[in-house]
Homo-oligomer: A and B are copies of this chain.
Amino acid sequence: MTSKTRRRPAGQVSGENIVIEAAWMYYNDGLNQNEIANRLQVSRATVVNYLQEARERGYIRISLSPEAFTSHNLAQKLRDRFGLQAAFLLPEGIGTAEETLLRVARGAADWLPHLLGSGDRLGVAWGRTVYEVAEAVERTQLSDVTVTQLVGSMATPYGFTAEICSANMAQNLGAKCINLHAPAVLSDPELATRLRAEPIIHAQLEALSHCNKAIFAAGSIAPDSHIVGSGVASSEDLEWYIRHGAAGVLCGRFIDAQGRFIPGDLDARMIGVELDKLLGLDMGLLVSVGADKVGPMLAAIAGGYVTHVVTSVETARGMLDKA
């Protein structure tokens, strides 16, 4: 450069502005970095820095359009076969089960904001999958959306509890959050009854019964299921429910293959949404993946809790095969 180099004044408007300017030229006007460098009278390397800064500050948002995942063949089949409003299928790739779960969670996270609108009250269940979805939601600012914790908390060795799921979800969506300040399961039914009558808890339970949308995963009934690992149910409980026809778990409650609620010993001691409150919602978003979840997912769908599904292509195939 012939003349003296001019630096952008730190912390000034124009300083921020030039970053936006560069980002706009690059992403909207389609100029390449050389052209931008010429116009802004800086070196190309500087343009690279500006663009990086723009990305770091979150000015640039790249997303895969939901249509790509809801429109293809298998998704339509799934929709038609199970009477869903929409299905969102993620490709597996070569990755491990863990990677696939994260991918599905990110897919759900991308999709979720499109499914919410002003005035919605979203019930959030609990589980590893739901936790990852909450984490993966891009920071947005939805207007007038409330997030509600659907089931009480539990001491989990996994590090994700029900209130963390709902709190993160609300945080990232820019929504209000109503937590449920009670354990998911108590040792004594009478204590549970009294706790439910407590004004604070009562108000929270009241709030969650007015959700119009919900997001949840299908819980498996394998012996290593989280429902046991998190201490909600004991191994004996689980066996008892399996003997009585359990096919899956939904918001801490056991359901059979037709999706019917299986009443049992636990219910009187639990604090959380009752399954019939999840029927007839504007949206029931089921997010789950894996061969072991096929049965539980089909059960949840059969029970009429589900309007939208996010899962992997592989799992979707499994569902169509088994049904």
Contact = CB atoms under 8 A, between A and B. Distances in A.
A96 interface: no
Most buried by B among A16, A68, A74, A118: A68
Given A28-B103, A91-B24, A17 B313 contact: yes
A23 B143 contact: no
In the complex, the count of this chain's copies comes to: 2
A117 interface: yes
Nearest to A13: B73
A61 interface: yes
B118 A72 contact: no
A275 interface: no
Nearest to A31: B93
**What's the interface size class on A, roughly?**
35 or more
26 contacts: A13-B72, A17-B72, A17-B91, A18-B91, A20-B68, A20-B91, A21-B91, A24-B93, A25-B93, A27-B62, A27-B64, A29-B93, A39-B94, A54-B68, A58-B65, A59-B64, A59-B65, A59-B68, A60-B62, A60-B64, A60-B65, A61-B62, A61-B65, A117-B117, A117-B143, A118-B119
Interface of A: 12-13, 16-18, 20-21, 23-25, 27-29, 39, 54, 57-65, 67-69, 72-74, 90-91, 93-94, 103, 106, 117-119, 143, 313
